[in-house]
Copies of this chain bind each other. A is one copy, B any other.
């Protein structure tokens, strides 16, 4: 339908300049030269409009990125990756602005989910890329690298999105390729570990059940060799089944495992569990 496209285009302009919430249906319809009722012939609600916008552009975007990652030679990949992304952001700068502006808004849960979904698709592609280009060399630091690449993407897009500055995409991509290679080849101190990544992904979904927590604990108890940590975990597991210890003791046990590198995740879950 032509009307639907018109609304999406004109609404995107307003959203980019004023933000989603600050733009009223009235404004959109006036900007389109149609009546308020006509809007609701194309979209059930204002929310449906922005979700349609996100789907429309993010499908294209994720497909493009995926295509580049799958069909570019190693020596060109990183450059093509950055170039494709920035080119796309520049071409659809209004949408990019909306995406950046709304990604921190937490009002509409469906919007958050959708953004998170497309985000995870891109993240997967970056992971594939990083593993292909650097392999074992970045085994310990790959999540940091991914996070930095994503950081470069958003940070440097701000330049041409929110300052009206002419940008040499070729130079920008080259510059970021160099930076990425530097970080990939020389970083030795990882910050984002597997455990931390799991923690980040957790809160979107439901909380863990007692049973899941216990089975995770049993697994860790098997793995861990240090006697103090092992016993602490065992006692904490029993505490979940039948609370017998005082808060102080529980807190002490949690303290025992807190600094063990393989217990970060489980100690985080337990800390959450025992404060409720």
Q: With a CB–CB cut-off of 8 A, which chain B residues contact A183?
A: 179, 182-183
Check A175–B191 contact: CB distance below 8 A: yes
Interface centre among A107, A163, A190, A192 (most CB of B within 10 A): A163
* A144 close to B21 (CB less than 8 A): no
Contact of A155 among B106, B150, B189 (CB under 8 A): B150
Q: Which residues of B contact A199 (CB under 8 A)?
A: 163, 165
Which of chain B's residues have a CB closer than 8 A to the CB of A176?
A: 191
CA of A245 to CA of B203, assembled, Å: 60
A148 touches B179 (CB 8 A): yes
Q: Is A120 an interface residue (CB 8 A)?
A: no
Instruction: Note all chain B residues with C-beta closer than 8 A to A186.
Output: 182, 186
Interface membership of chain A positions 179-221, coded 1 if the CB is closer than 8 angstroms to chain B and 0 otherwise: 1001100111111100010011001000000000000000000
- Kindly state the interface size class of chain A when it binds its partner: 35 or more
Question: Contact between A18 and B101 (Cβ–Cβ < 8 Å)?
Answer: no
Looking at the assembled complex, report how far the CB atom of A191 sits from the nearest CB atom of chain B, in whole angstroms. Answer: 4
Other than the given A147-B155, A151-B156, A154-B155, 14 more pairs (CB < 8 A) read A17-B106, A18-B107, A19-B105, A19-B107, A21-B21, A100-B104, A151-B152, A151-B154, A163-B203, A165-B200, A165-B268, A166-B268, A166-B271, A171-B189
5 pairs of A and B residues whose beta carbons are closest in the complex: A151-B155, A175-B191, A175-B189, A163-B200, A165-B199
